[in-house]
């Protein structure tokens, strides 16, 4: 090696509150090198420094100099022996001045010299330090000299600070790619394997392209990394005796596809073809002659080409003549099955085809052979219900009605106790719209009976209920405290005293903490059902699950918080995580739409409808009706009150509010409702 470098490990002390990392020998030197005094705390000081009572380290020469360097005056106590705190590096002698005052005088060992400070000794050369390669004198911040060893390039300094050891460069990854790395004293050497040569720099081995020179291959030479291989032209194979030579390949021995008679030739082969076939351009394959391409092969209708030949065929509904296979005649499909052929009822033959017909009341199905019943109820004159039968139909009335003599109209004796019957299915109503109470016969609203000398009703705006039966109403658990007095008003204005409030579980007035927010209301007297007053249906588990999974189906919600009357709109079922403004549980349903549905009275219904089928006679008769189901009762929403009138709900702001509504899931409370009221799910 011609160059050398100094490699000296430098210990480091990390300051506590600052980013500095200072040399370790600066710690406990009596100076605030860190800027936060962390390098001057917890110091043992050692023999070269004086430890103050407060933990500060100062140079020994500062002791007994009649200055408070410790800041607690501990360096100026007991100052009788001048050498005790002289700070001499090696040895000290006491001398006296002319006036007889004792004075400390420092002396150095052999080979050392006293510095200008009169206390410290330093070695003036590296001669006896023992460095393997190089040495130089270093100096601390306090001015103390010390030797520093360094190593030449390719070596590193051991932990003893003196000995230099060879660096094994071959331990590094990426050296001598394609070859082998050999470590040498202070360096390394790359040795390339056969077929490779050293690259532009000594760290890599590059491929030798043997195909550029004399390779000995008879046909083709293919260079590979570190070597090469010989290859042969098409139709030849490498010789078993000499891999550089090529022998002709006899393709005919192994058989050639689409070659009838194979003849081997040097570097290839030639095919001889049978009748009905022709050679391709290079005579290596036999191709079929398409006889149907000229004059349709002489066939009247269809020519079917086949390998080396062809045959005539006929279209559907025709067959070939026995004595003339190229000609076709009509097939009478109606000859079989007693003249009905493939038809279920009647068959009419046509040239090349046939036609099936059906009896009165039936029509031809999509298969063209069988007959299916015509549903006359699609265009009937029945007043209520039309029941289709095989080949005919008849009219039927809704429950509680009777069929008149004309067999189409119905008399008005409707049974109003039937749950959930509505005229039309629920359809989209994306904005709040006024609606008649008579459209929703199961909805009630509550008033609070104020007690006193003259009891009176006070409207509970924002509290609704749903009729389950003549005695029972369902509402939200938090809306009617158990210790109050209430009246329930049906849509026809009739009033019913509340006898008892039965919540499913105690509910904190802070609505967002209730996860079973539902209660039953028991009345003192029975509700009188009429055209505008009746119960709603409760869905079974399967009916509810089918509705909740179909998020595209609309559901109706209602509100009575606006003094102008009952309002309605539709929503869609949403994911539970969309209801983020309250604690949501699996006992709840999240409902909303693209715009906010923040309104709705506590206890008001979430209603969906289904078209139900009533089987009158399992063999022939059925009827359909629209049934409304109670999916949930409103638990939480978002109160948005008008800016100027606190008694009016601000529907305009509600339409822009992004919050969804939470409803208590009825399907999770079916057993509780049945046990308390006897009301069961609609089947």
Residue 508 is predicted with a pLDDT of 61
Mean pLDDT of 42-48: 70
535 pLDDT higher than 90: yes
Give the C-alpha distances (Å, rounded to integers) separating 296 from 253, 293, 300, 302: 40, 6, 8, 7
Contacts of 199 (CB under 8 A, 6+ apart): 205, 206
Tell me yes or no: is domain 171-207 CATH 2.60.40.10.
no
Q: Would you give the DSSP letter of residue 397?
A: P
Work out the widest C-alpha separation in the chain, in whole angstroms.
162
What are the tens digits of pLDDT across the range 608-665?
Answer: 998 876 544 333 344 567 889 999 998 876 544 434 444 444 555 555 554 577 889 9
Round to whole Å and give the CA distance between 450 and 484: 9
What are the tens digits of pLDDT across the range 565-621?
Answer: 788 888 888 887 777 665 667 788 888 875 544 555 678 899 999 887 654 433 334
Query: Which tokens hold the place of 621?
Result: 């008769």
Residue 582 is predicted with a pLDDT of 59
CATH tag for 333-373 (out of 3.40.50.1980, 3.40.50.11540, 3.30.1360.70, 2.10.25.10): 2.10.25.10
At 672 the three-state DSSP class reads helix
71 pLDDT higher than 80: no
Mean pLDDT of 359-376: 90
- Percent composition of the chain: helix, strand, coil (DSSP 3-state, to 5): 10, 35, 50
- Asked whether the beta carbons of 570 and 426 are under 8 A apart, the reply is yes
What are the tens digits of pLDDT across the range 390-423?
Answer: 888 878 888 767 666 566 888 776 657 778 888 8
Residue 499 is predicted with a pLDDT of 93
32 pLDDT higher than 60: yes
pTM for this model (two decimals): 0.42
What are the tens digits of pLDDT across the range 303-316?
Answer: 999 998 899 999 98
672 pLDDT higher than 90: yes
Task: Please tell me the least confidently modeled range out of 360-374, 618-632, 662-676.
Answer: 618-632
Residue environment code for 124-155, b if the CB has 16+ CB neighbours within 10 A, otherwise e: eeeeeeebbbbbeeeeeeeebbebbbbbbebb
Mean pLDDT of 27-53: 73
Query: End-to-end distance of the chain based on CA atoms, in angstroms?
Result: 100
Residue 29 is predicted with a pLDDT of 65
Q: Would you give the DSSP letter of residue 253?
A: H
Of the chain, the percentage scoring pLDDT greater than 90 comes to 21
Pick the more confident residue, 222 or 641: 222
Residue 638 is predicted with a pLDDT of 54
Query: Which tokens hold the place of 380?
Result: 């009937």
Query: Which tokens hold the place of 471?
Result: 């005695």
Contacts of 27 (CB under 8 A, 6+ apart): 13, 33, 39, 40, 43
Mean pLDDT of 345-356: 91
Read off the pLDDT band of 47 (50, 70, 90): low
Mean pLDDT of 365-386: 90
11 pLDDT higher than 50: yes
Residue 621 is predicted with a pLDDT of 42
Q: Do 421-677 and 333-373 fall under one CATH topology?
A: no
Residue 646 is predicted with a pLDDT of 45
- Which architecture characterizes domain 421-677 according to CATH? Beta Barrel (2.40)
Round to whole Å and give the CA distance between 331 and 124: 129
The long-range contacts involving 498-503, CB below 8 angstroms and separated by at least 24 positions, are 498/446, 498/522, 498/523, 498/524, 499/523, 499/524, 502/676, 503/477
Burial (CB count <10 Å: 0-12, 13-18, 19+), residue 495: exposed
- Asked whether the beta carbons of 230 and 242 are under 8 A apart, the reply is no
Mean pLDDT of 320-331: 87
Residue 642 is predicted with a pLDDT of 38
Pick the more confident residue, 548 or 254: 548
User: How is 444-491 classified by DSSP, letter by letter?
Assistant: EEEEEEE-SSS-EEEEEEEEEEEE-SSSEEEE-TTTS-TTS-EEEE-T
Query: Which tokens hold the place of 655?
Result: 């339409």
Contacts of 569 (CB under 8 A, 6+ apart): 429, 430, 431, 432, 433, 556, 557, 597
What are the tens digits of pLDDT across the range 112-154?
Answer: 777 777 887 776 667 677 888 888 877 777 666 777 888 998 8
Residue 170 is predicted with a pLDDT of 87
Pick the more confident residue, 73 or 507: 73
Residue 460 is predicted with a pLDDT of 66
Contacts of 560 (CB under 8 A, 6+ apart): 445, 461, 462, 464, 566, 567, 601, 604
Locate the domains of the chain by residue range: 4-123, 171-207, 292-330, 333-373, 421-677
Closest CA to 563 of 649, 477, 449, 437: 649
228 pLDDT higher than 60: yes
Residue 634 is predicted with a pLDDT of 86
Round to whole Å and give the CA distance between 218 and 210: 15
- Asked whether the beta carbons of 56 and 73 are under 8 A apart, the reply is no
Task: Please tell me the least confidently modeled range out of 349-363, 428-442, 635-649.
Answer: 635-649
Side-chain half-sphere exposure of 467, counting CA atoms within 13 A: 30
What are the tens digits of pLDDT across the range 455-502?
Answer: 677 776 668 899 999 999 999 888 888 888 999 999 888 999 999 999
6 pLDDT higher than 60: no
Residue 510 is predicted with a pLDDT of 53
- Which architecture characterizes domain 292-330 according to CATH? Ribbon (2.10)
Residue 19 φ/ψ, nearest 5 degrees: -85, 0
Read off the pLDDT band of 439 (50, 70, 90): confident
Residue 404 is predicted with a pLDDT of 64
């Amino acid at each position: 090696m011609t160059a050398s470098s100094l490699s000296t490990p430098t210990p480091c002390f990390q300051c506590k509150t600052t980013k500095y990392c200072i040399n370790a020998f600066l710690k406990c030197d009596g100076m605030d090198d860190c800027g936060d005094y962390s390098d001057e705390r917890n110091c043992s000081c050692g023999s070269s420094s004086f430890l103050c009572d407060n933990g500060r380290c100062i140079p020994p020469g500062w002791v007994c100099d009649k200055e408070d360097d410790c800041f607690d005056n501990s360096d100026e106590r007991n100052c009788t022996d001048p050498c005790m705190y002289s700070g001499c590096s090696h040895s000290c002698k006491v001398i006296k001045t002319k006036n007889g005052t004792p004075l400390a005088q420092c002396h150095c060992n052999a080979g050392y010299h006293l510095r200008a400070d009169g206390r410290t000794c330093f070695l003036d050369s590296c001669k006896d330090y023992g460095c393997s390669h190089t040495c130089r004198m270093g100096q601390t911040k306090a001015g103390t000299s010390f030797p520093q060893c360094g190593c030449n390039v390719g070596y590193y300094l051991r932990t003893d600070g003196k000995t230099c050891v060879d660096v094994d460069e071959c331990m590094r990854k990426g050296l001598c790619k394609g070859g082998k790395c050999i470590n040498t004293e202070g360096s390394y050497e790359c040795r390339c394997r056969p077929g490779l040569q050293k690259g532009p720099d000594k760290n890599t081995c590059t491929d030798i392209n043997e195909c550029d020179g004399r390779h000995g291959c008879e046909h083709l030479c293919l260079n590979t990394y570190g070597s090469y291989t010989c290859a042969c032209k098409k139709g030849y194979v490498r010789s078993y005796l000499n891999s550089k030579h090529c022998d002709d390949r006899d393709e005919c021995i192994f058989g050639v596809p689409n070659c009838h008679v194979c003849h081997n030739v040097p570097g290839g082969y030639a095919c001889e073809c049978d009748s009905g076939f022709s050679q391709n351009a290079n005579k290596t394959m036999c191709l079929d002659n398409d006889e149907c391409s000229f004059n349709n092969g002489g066939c009247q209708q269809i020519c079917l080409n086949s390998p080396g030949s062809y045959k005539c065929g006929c279209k559907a509904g025709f067959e070939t003549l026995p004595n003339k296979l190229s000609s076709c005649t009509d097939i009478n499909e109606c000859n079989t099955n007693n003249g009905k052929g493939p038809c279920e009822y009647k068959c009419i033959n046509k040239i090349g085809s046939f036609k099936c017909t059906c009896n009165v009341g039936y029509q031809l199905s999509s298969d063209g052979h069988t007959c299916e019943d015509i549903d006359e109820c699609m265009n009937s004159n029945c007043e209520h219900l039309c029941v289709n039968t095989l080949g005919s139909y008849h009219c039927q009335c809704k429950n509680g009605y009777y069929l008149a003599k004309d067999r189409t109209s119905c008399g008005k004796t409707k049974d109003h106790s039937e749950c959930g019957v509505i005229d039309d299915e629920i359809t989209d109503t994306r904005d709040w719209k006024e609606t008649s109470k008579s459209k929703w016969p199961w909805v009630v609203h509550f008033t609070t009976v104020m007690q006193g000398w003259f009891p009176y009703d006070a409207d509970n705006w924002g509290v609704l209920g749903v009729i389950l039966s003549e005695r029972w109403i369902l509402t939200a658990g938090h809306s009617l405290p158990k210790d109050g007095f209430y009246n329930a008003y049906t849509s026809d204005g009739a009033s019913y005293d509340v006898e008892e409030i039965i919540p499913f579980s105690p509910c904190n007035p802070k609505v967002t903490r209730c996860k079973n927010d539902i209660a039953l209301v028991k009345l003192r007297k029975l509700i009188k059902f009429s055209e505008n007053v009746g119960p709603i249906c409760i869905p079974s588990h399967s009916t509810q699950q089918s509705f909740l999974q179909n998020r595209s189906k609309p559901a109706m919600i209602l509100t009575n918080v606006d003094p102008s009357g009952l309002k309605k709109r539709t929503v869609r079922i949403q994911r539970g995580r969309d209801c983020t403004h309250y604690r949501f549980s699996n006992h709840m349903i999240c409902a909303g739409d693209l715009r906010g549905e923040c309104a709705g009275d506590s206890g008001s219904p979430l209603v969906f409808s289904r078209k139900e089928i009533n089987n009158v006679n399992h063999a022939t008769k059925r009827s359909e009706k629209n049934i409304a189901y109670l999916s949930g009762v409103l638990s939480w929403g978002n109160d948005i009150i008008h800016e100027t009138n606190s008694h009016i709900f601000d529907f305009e702001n509600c339409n822009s509010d992004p919050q969804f509504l939470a409803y208590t899931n009825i399907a999770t409370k079916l057993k509780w409702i049945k046990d308390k009221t006897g009301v069961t799910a609609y089947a």
